[in-house]
Amino acid sequence: PGNELMGGNGFTNPTHVLIHEDHGAANLANGWAEEEVLHELGHAVFQPRVEDADWADAQEADPCFISDYAQKNPIREDVAETLGPYLAMKFLTDRVTNVDQDKISNCIAARSSVLDAWFAEMNMSYSPFSSAAAEEAILRIALEEPVAGQVHTGVGNLRGWAVATEGVTRVEIMINGVSAFEAPYGGARGDVGGAFPDIPDSNRSGFSLAFNYSELPAGPNNIAAVAYDGLNAVAESTANFEVVRFPDFIRGEGAVNLGEGTCSVTSDEISIVDAVINGTFYNLVLKWRPAEQGFEVVEIQ
C-alpha cells in the first residue's frame, strides 16, 4: 500500500521492482504504468552495469541524452531512461512519428548498440515487446487423458501434447489446483507434427505417463496440464472428471473372485453383479474406452 514512487534495484538477489498500490493504480488510470514499470525494470536488469566502460564511451559518443532526467543523473538514470525509447525503436516504430524516430536514432545510436550487446550477452529475449511477434507466436497444449467428463479408476494414462514456436520448456501437471509434478515431454506424435508442420519438433510433442487415479479422492477431480515456452508464456488444458475406487488396494492371488457373480453385456459395457473383491461383494460396470483401447471400471456399488 502507499503512494510512493516505484523503484527498481539490480543489486539485490533476486533483483526486484517495487510498486506501491495507490501509485500504481494512479499510473494505470493516467496511462503511464507501462513506461514506469519499464523504467524500473531497466534499473533491476542493468543497474550493475551503468558504470561499465562501454556505456560511458557510448554516452560520450552520442550527441545528447534522451531526457533531462537522464542528463541530470547520467550514472543512475540514463540506462533506465534510454531503455523505453530503445525498445520502441526496435519493435514499436508504428507508434513513433518519423520526426521522433529521427530524434531518438540520432540521440542514442551508440547506447542502442551497447544495449544490443548486453541483451545478447544475457541471452535475454524481448520479443514480447513486438506486437508482430506476439501475433505469430503459437503455444498450444491438449490434455487427452484423463478424458473430461468421464470416470477413471486404477492405473491409467495421463497424456497429451504441446507445441510452441518458441519451444516447450516443460509441462507441469496440476492436480485439484496444486502443482504435482512435471510430465515427461518429447514423445513421438506424428499426428501433431502433421497438424503443425511449421513448428520445430512438433512431431516430438507428446507427454505421457502411467498415473494411479485411485490415489485421488472418490468423486469429482480436476487435472490441468500447463505448458511453458521459451518466453515463459503459459497455456493450459484442463479436464474435470470423476474417480471411482475401491476402499483398499487389491493385492494377492484370490483377491478377485468372479465365480459367484453374474455378467451381462450391452453395446460397449460389461455389468458384473456379486463380484467378490477383497472378501466384499460388489456390483461393477466396465465401459470400453477408445482412448485407452480397453475396458475401465466406471461404477462400483
269-298 tens-digit pLDDT: 888 888 888 888 888 888 887 766 778 788
Please give the model's pTM, rounded to 2 decimal places.
0.49
Average pLDDT score, the chain: 84
**pLDDT tier for residue 158 given thresholds of 50, 70 and 90:** very high
Same-domain status, 45 and 115: yes
Residue 37 has pLDDT above 70, yes or no: yes
Same-domain status, 22 and 124: yes
**pLDDT tier for residue 132 given thresholds of 50, 70 and 90:** very low
3-class secondary-structure state, position 224 = strand
Residue 134 has pLDDT above 50, yes or no: no
More confident residue, 25 or 269: 269
| Single-letter code of the amino acid located at 45 | V
Same-domain status, 160 and 126: no
Range with top average pLDDT, 26-35, 38-47, 162-171: 162-171
Same-domain status, 13 and 105: yes
Question: Distance between CA atoms of 221 and 176, rounded to whole angstroms?
Answer: 6
More confident residue, 100 or 14: 100
More confident residue, 5 or 60: 60
Same-domain status, 151 and 188: yes
The angle at the Cα of 37, spanning 33 to 41, to the nearest 5 degrees, equals 170
pLDDT digits (tens, 9 = 90+) for 205-236: 999 999 999 899 989 999 999 999 988 889 99
Residues of the domain holding 210: 137-243
Question: Distance between CA atoms of 277 and 101, rounded to whole angstroms?
Answer: 78
Among the candidates 82, 111, 132, a domain finishes at 132
Of how many residues is the chain composed? 301
Same-domain status, 281 and 228: no
Beta-carbon-side half-sphere exposure of residue 131 (alpha carbons within 13 Å): 6
Percentage of the chain with pLDDT > 90? 30
Question: Distance between CA atoms of 84 and 91, rounded to whole angstroms?
Answer: 11
248 found inside a domain: no
288 found inside a domain: yes
Distances in Å between the Cα of 79 and the Cα atoms of 51, 64, 102, 111, 114 are: 10, 13, 20, 9, 10
CATH number at residue 226: 2.60.40.650
Same-domain status, 116 and 14: yes
Among the candidates 132, 160, 186, a domain finishes at 132
Is the torsion defined by CA of 274, 277, 283, 288 positive or negative? Answer: negative
Question: Distance between CA atoms of 58 and 68, rounded to whole angstroms?
Answer: 17
Residue in the block written with cell 505469430: 136
249 found inside a domain: no
Question: Which of 142, 158, 231 is closest to 191 using CA atoms?
Answer: 142
Q: Which three cell numbers, joined as nine digits, stand for 163?
A: 507445441
Q: Please say whether the beta carbons of 2 and 22 come within 8 A.
A: yes
3-class secondary-structure state, position 113 = helix
Question: Distance between CA atoms of 32 and 43, rounded to whole angstroms?
Answer: 17
Q: Which three cell numbers, joined as nine digits, stand for 207?
A: 507427454
Give the lowest-confidence range in 6-10, 93-97, 134-138, 261-265: 134-138
Q: Which three cell numbers, joined as nine digits, stand for 295?
A: 475396458
Same-domain status, 146 and 167: yes
Looking at the structure of the chain, the number of domains it has is 3
More confident residue, 19 or 39: 39
178 found inside a domain: yes
Number of Cβ within a 10 Å radius of residue 220: 11
pLDDT at 185 (0 to 100)? 96
Question: Distance between CA atoms of 160 and 237, rounded to whole angstroms?
Answer: 9
